[in-house]
Amino acid sequence: MKNELTNTTPGETDLVEMGRIFAASGMFPEHRDAAQCATKLIVGRGMGLNPYDAMSLHIIQGKVVLGANIMAAAIKRSGKYTYRADSNDEACSITFFEIMPNGDREEIGTTTFTLDDAKNAGLGGTNWKKYPKAMLFARAISQGYRTHAPDALGCAPVYVEMHGESEIPRPEKTDHEKIEDILAGLKDGEEIKKKAIEKAGVNSIDQLNPDQTRRMIEWLRTK
């Protein structure tokens, strides 16, 4: 059944051009590279997501990470599955149902995630104190998705993200990537970058040697 999250089916060439537009727009600070944007759009299309929702994907170490809200919406809109959540600040239980051809709902299982489960998994940072109900729901919905509704967004394995915490740890950023992030947050970041690489006699941030990189990070942090 067609996923109702899909609003458009542009061709691959259109998605590449759309990726350039998204990257150039400046509206997505974390997405400055056109190829990365296009990749997200192509992956998202395969999962039945519209272009805007696809831009919220994170692809970490080749694995697709979704916001919990997108995963939950996909289950509800699949036409094949639905769920009922019972949650509080201590635990979240989600019961999943398969929708039969006659419209009846058949219970297929329940997943539960508690604060004790979070502690046993080494979780429990600031966001778990600020948003326990949301964090518990995110973990429970992802477990239930994989167990009870694995084809709601196609057959690719997916992982959940909520309030910046992902089921797949992000690799440590390189110093060059840290510089790019700092520059992206500065109003005149592009001009600073241009002058910095000219002064260093290189063609890109990646070509700065360790000493140049260290000094640039220290200088940028004073901005």
Beta bridge partners of 112: 93
User: Is the distance from CB of 4 to CB of 74 less than 8 angstroms?
Assistant: no
pLDDT at 101 over 50: yes
Instruction: Give 111-166 pLDDT, tens digit per residue.
Output: 999 999 999 988 877 889 899 999 999 999 999 999 999 888 876 677 787 776 76
Query: pLDDT tens, 5-26?
Result: 444 455 556 888 888 888 888 7
Reduced to 3 states (helix: H, G, I; strand: E, B; else coil), residue 7 is coil
Q: What is the pLDDT of residue 113?
A: 96
* pLDDT (tens digit per residue) in 29-66: 777 788 888 988 988 888 888 888 888 888 877 788 88
Identify the pLDDT of residue 123.
85
User: Considering only 72-76, 105-109, 219-223, which range has the smallest mean pLDDT?
Assistant: 219-223
Q: pLDDT-derived band of residue 168, with 50, 70 and 90 as boundaries?
A: low
pLDDT computed for residue 26 by the predictor: 79
A 10 A CB-CB count for 17 gives: 14
Q: Which residue has the tokens 């000219």?
A: 198
Where b means 16+ CB within 10 Å and e means fewer, 51-62 reads bebbbbbbebee
Residue 99 predicted with pLDDT over 70 = yes
Q: What is the pTM for the complete model shown?
A: 0.64
Give the mean model confidence (pLDDT) for residues 68-77. 91
Average pLDDT, the chain: 84
